[in-house]
Structure 1
Amino acid sequence: MPHGMDTIERGAIKANMGGLRRINVRTFSKLLLLVAVMFGFGYAMVPFYRAFCDLVGINQLGDRTTEIAARNSQIDESRTITVEFDANAQGPLRFKPAKSSLTVHPGQMATIEYEVANQQPHEVRAQAIPSYAPAQAASYFKKIECFCFTQQTLKAGEAKEFPVVFVVDTKLPKDVNTITLSYTFFDLGKNDANQRADATVDAQSGKLSAGATGGGKGSNG
């Protein structure tokens, strides 16, 4: 009997292990499928994002590959393109282009300076977002250097000049002769250090005010 019981127990253990293996294989297969689906979804989102940016004329941030293309492009001297520059600022920032327009040939590298000044009594962070008119020009306006690639920090009362180095693609449709590049500078608020400092000052002011009020009541009583 003991020998028979051992055989039964070993058989049960093997059966359980076999069942666990099958469960593990199914679980692993499902995880692999999930990873593949997530990867495919993320990959598929890229063209949707680019299509949306092209539709609304929003810059596709982080596109730094244009420098190589600009170096290798041929200048089309048979065409001239007028590039107009516009600037808008959210909050008390003074923001404007150094020139209102430039005339360039497709394939020709050009530079425009933008001037921004922080008119607030504290340091701020700001982000510039470009847009284009006509919207289709966004795909042919290649920025090589731009302050819009990253957030900018401006000290209290500080003024800066930012260059934008660009080239208009030679494949720009023939019916487009004027491109308007417009930047909106968004004030993202104070830096964390400034916010903490202001919060500390406010808290201390509140305590002093409360103490003064309490002292006044005590003296009146």
Structure 2
Amino acid sequence: MPSYKLFYFPARGGTEPIRFVLAQAGVPYEDIRLPREKWLQEYKEDSPYGTMPFLEEDGERISGSFVILRYLGEKYGLAGSTPAENAKIASLADCLQDMKMDIVAFLREQDEAKKAALRKELKETKLPNRLKYINKQAEQFTDFFFGKLTWVDFCFYMATEFVLPGIPTALDDFPKLQAIMTKISELPNIKKWIAERPKTEF
């Protein structure tokens, strides 16, 4: 079995779906969480492109969260069955990334008045509009987003983890999406990982 090391900051962030894939596949790995100063002083210069996350597999390094997700998803049976299906999975991942960035902008805002305005916009327009299209994809299948568990389901779980603390009612009009969240959280390997993972704000 390959030897894996996953490098990221002490956070869930965009790397958490990668951890979910490895947990679901039952693949051991070294979860290396670098404080910012240690990253800058000791690791950045030798990283593939000066960014994290990156994955080291038997000494070879792969950079970029979606690239790593696609690679591991295909390797461990959590990807599509055809190139076209894989493209659709990647398209949904891009949509979820846009939703996550909307949330990140809200969470990072320090000015309380601006934060309140961002929250109102998210709750009333941005999130419902994005979730409407995400839900449309989910409604095409009985299970998950593509009729089987794939790496993009974990992207959805992570993005929604960002949303719900600030806007707890975000999924109230989308029972199908609520069901996907529940189904993911009840997968034995994922349930174990969620219970045991380091507690972080983001």
With the shorter chain as reference, the TM-score category is under 0.3
The structure number with the bigger radius of gyration is 1
- Structure in which a larger fraction of residues adopt helix: 2
TM-score between the two structures when normalised by the length of structure 1: 0.21
